[in-house]
Amino acid sequence: MDIYSKRLPTIKQLQYFIAVCEELSFTGAAKKLGISQPPLSTQIKNLEETLQSTLFLRNSHNIVLTNEGEILKSKVTQLLSDLCSMVKSTKHLEKVIIGTTKTLSFDYIPYFKSFLSKFSDETEIYKHNYTSKELILELQKGNIDFAFVSDYPTRDFNENSILIYQEPMTLVLPAHHPCSKQDKVNLNDVIDLPLFWFKQHLNPFFYDQCEKVFNSLNHPLHRRTELADNLSMLLEVALSKAIMLLPQSMTQMKVDGVIYKKLINSQDKKLKINIYLIWRKNIKTSTVNQAIIDYFNQHKIS
């Protein structure tokens, strides 16, 4: 067989094969690749037919590599590694610059970690700690190509944007508060303490969204101006001087005397932060840019 033979496996088939080898699960491999399971199964079947070998032994619970599969795994791993090295050494890949709003901690959201892992070689995160409003300006200046931003009234919601994620808000309480033992907390039950809250101009859309919920409570929810950083506010919560509402991804900091709680469903649904992928109007037409848009189109929220 020569190098031009149509009977050679494709790179995609070999990548899918390695994913199944690593996960020993078609479901896990499909998730890792960001695809559904049927096309993965089809590609593996085609690979086995091309090689005229059984690569996996499988039943309803387990997957095991055959001897032929083990031999192929070693060779394919080296082949794909060499191919990656060749691409990096022969072609300078121009990075796609992506801005992420400081509203969320994207490192702690599996959805975005999966995307950044998949496109790690092609993308670079904009290092500045910007708000959504500031990222939109950076986009207009051409300093970034894409951005993950929350709602903002001045942007055009109908052009070059996809709703890709909704971040839940988490209630932060003193650990000895009566509601701390509940699985989900009603804001009506915590109005005994003021809420640390941001100024309206920092995020007008989300501010107004929250005000509708606060205004529907049985009694007024008193607001307290936010302090300079989250740690200072968490220490105040621990002393029973206030409560907080934080995006779920921002609740990684552990402080003695503080507990994180989910809101009741009716309030949780209305307090989610909408996150959009937006991109420049004159963005360069490229395979990578289109792949990023396609990736989020497949996972967008209707």
Three-state SS annotation for 206-262:
HHHHHHHHHHCCCCCCCEEECCCCHHHHHHHHHCCCCEEEEEHHHCCCCCCCEEEEE
Numbered ranges of CATH 1.10.10.10 in the chain = 11-90
Q: Residue 151's pLDDT is what?
A: 77
Q: Residue 185's pLDDT is what?
A: 97
Distance CA 77, CA 17 (A): 10
CATH number of 96-166+274-299: 3.40.190.10
Numbered ranges of CATH 3.40.190.10 in the chain = 96-166+274-299, 169-271
CATH number of 169-271: 3.40.190.10
Per-residue pLDDT of the chain (302 residues; tens, 9 = 90+): 678 887 899 999 999 999 999 999 999 999 888 889 999 999 999 999 999 999 999 887 789 999 999 999 999 999 999 888 777 665 556 789 999 998 899 989 988 989 988 898 889 999 888 888 889 889 888 899 999 998 765 556 556 888 999 999 999 999 999 999 999 999 999 999 999 999 988 888 889 999 999 999 999 999 999 998 999 999 999 999 999 999 999 998 889 999 999 999 999 999 999 999 999 877 888 889 999 999 999 878 86
Q: Which CATH architecture fits 11-90?
A: Orthogonal Bundle (1.10)
Distance CA 247, CA 167 (A): 6
Q: Residue 223's pLDDT is what?
A: 95
